[in-house]
């Protein structure tokens, strides 16, 4: 029996979701996309999970792209359906009510970069390479790459990566704003664990409010975004966590948030 394409492991409130196809450089086929979608749907509703870390199995790749062997035989309608399946997953990750960290341990190309960009924070090893090489296959990005690159790093960089199809190193990705941080490969696990731990002890309802406000604000006019922010801000005053956070600040002690 073939191993499951996605593995799930919990460490306290941190859930790690691993794309588990190292022999295929963790390429995304339909089964893997569906398994990832189910994994994130489960994490979203699990009260014991406060943070999700997404990574790829093996030392070479986060996710090296979509599965080209599977795509090669698709009809136009099947190709569109494959794109919609991938976009459904990316939207689910992007709209997760809990922070999602991408641990980019190697190649993040094509669908792999699209997967990483759907996450809320991206930490890359200094050996990582990212890119949208679909042009070299006679394709365009299909899981949201053109749109998220545009929003993350602007028109010039989005056109550069999509039109030229050449991968860039982690330092260049950091310069463009595609990743949040680059660390030595030997320090990657410790850095991701530290960030996940920090987020796991933060106020969960406030985290959700921030994620919602930034996502909504990125898709609407400034006035609408400001109104939404004010509404979310006001809702925090109905939470016990807000009372705990402010009381802890005044008492000069660490807060203990209860997600209520």
Got the DSSP string for 109-169? ETHHHHHHHHSSEEEEETT-EEE-GGGGGT----SSHHHHHHHHHHHHHHHHHHHH---EE
By C-alpha distance, which of 117, 101, 98, 51 is closest to 211?
A: 98
Catalytic status, residue 114: yes
Distance CA 61, CA 127 (A): 10
Per the residue annotation, which of 94, 134, 224, 227 is the catalytic one? 134
DSSP H or E run through 18:
strand 14-19
CA atoms within 13 A on the CB side of 49: 22
Question: Catalytic: which of 34, 70, 94, 114?
Answer: 114
Measured at the CA of 123, the angle between CA 27 and CA 203, to 5 degrees, comes to: 115
Q: Is 229 known to be catalytic?
A: no
Q: Which residues are catalytic?
A: 114, 134
């Amino acid at each position: 029996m073939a191993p499951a394409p996605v593995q799930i492991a919990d460490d306290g409130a941190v859930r790690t979701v691993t794309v588990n196809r190292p022999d295929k450089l963790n390429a995304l086929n339909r089964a893997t996309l569906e398994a990832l979608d189910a994994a994130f749907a489960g994490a979203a509703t699990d009260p014991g999970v406060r943070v999700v870390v997404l990574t790829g199995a093996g030392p070479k790749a986060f996710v090296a792209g979509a599965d080209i062997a599977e795509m090669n035989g698709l009809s136009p309608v099947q190709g569109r359906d494959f794109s919609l399946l991938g976009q459904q997953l990316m939207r689910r990750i992007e709209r997760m009510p809990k922070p999602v960290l991408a641990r980019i341990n190697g190649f993040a190309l094509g669908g792999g970069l699209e997967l990483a960009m759907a996450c809320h924070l991206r930490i890359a090893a200094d050996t990582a390479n990212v890119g949208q090489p679909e042009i070299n296959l006679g394709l365009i990005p299909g899981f949201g790459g053109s749109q998220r690159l545009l929003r993350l790093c602007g028109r010039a960089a989005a056109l550069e990566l999509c039109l030229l199809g050449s991968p860039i190193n982690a330092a260049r990705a950091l310069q463009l704003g595609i990743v949040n941080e680059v660390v030595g490969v030997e320090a990657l696990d410790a850095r991701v664990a530290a960030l996940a731990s920090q987020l796991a002890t933060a106020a969960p309802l406030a985290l959700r409010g921030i994620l919602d406000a930034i996502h909504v604000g990125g898709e609407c006019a400034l006035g609408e975004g400001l109104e939404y922010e004010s509404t979310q801000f006001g809702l925090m005053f109905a939470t016990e966590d807000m009372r705990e956070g402010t009381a802890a600040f005044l008492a000069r002690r660490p807060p203990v948030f209860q997600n209520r």
